[in-house]
Each structure stands twice: as C-alpha cells, then as structure tokens.
Amino acid sequence: MPKRGKTTRKACRNCKAILEPNVKKCPVCGSTDFSDEYIGFVIIVDEEKSEISKNKGVKKGMWAIKVF
C-alpha cells in the first residue's frame, strides 16, 4: 500500500515515457493508454552523449524498460 502523500508515476504503453500520475494525454506521443506497472527505467539527461538515446532513438526524459 502506498504511503500517504506518495505519488506513483505511470508509463505510456505506446512510447514508454514515464509520466506524472495526473497527466491525461502523453506529451510525447499523444496516447491515453497508460499503465501503473512497469519494470526498470532509464533517465536520459544529454541526448547527444547518451549511447542509449542514439541506439533507441529516445529523447531527454524518463523511459520505462518494460511496460505491462
């Protein structure tokens, strides 16, 4: 059970962006299909220096590894 005041982020099932719980539409891809269940995440700080960003084509932000 989550502690009082704790917010749980959610992940977009379409693009795997990790978002705040109050978001109704994904700002990255426009999807409204979200999940509270995901495993692992990466944080891209600098797209130009990130090998993950270059290989996967993701931009700056938080991204889920696997979304259920």
Asked if CATH classification 2.20.28.90 holds for the domain at 10-67, the reply, yes or no, is: yes
pLDDT of the residue at 54 = 85
Q: Are strands 18-19 and 61-67 parallel, antiparallel or unpaired?
A: unpaired
Give the DSSP per-residue string, 31-65. ---EES-EEEEEEES-TTT-HHHHHH---SEEEEE
> Would you state the pLDDT for residue 56?
81
Copy the structure tokens of residue 18: 């990790």
Q: Give the model's pLDDT for residue 39.
A: 94
> What pLDDT digit, counting tens, does each position of 22-59 carry?
999 999 999 999 999 999 999 999 988 888 888 888 88
| Over residues 2-28, mean pLDDT | 86
- The whole-angstrom separation of Cα 66 and Cα 27 is 19
pTM (predicted TM-score): 0.81
- Those residues whose C-beta lies under 8 Å from the C-beta of residue 22, and which sit 6 or more positions away, are none
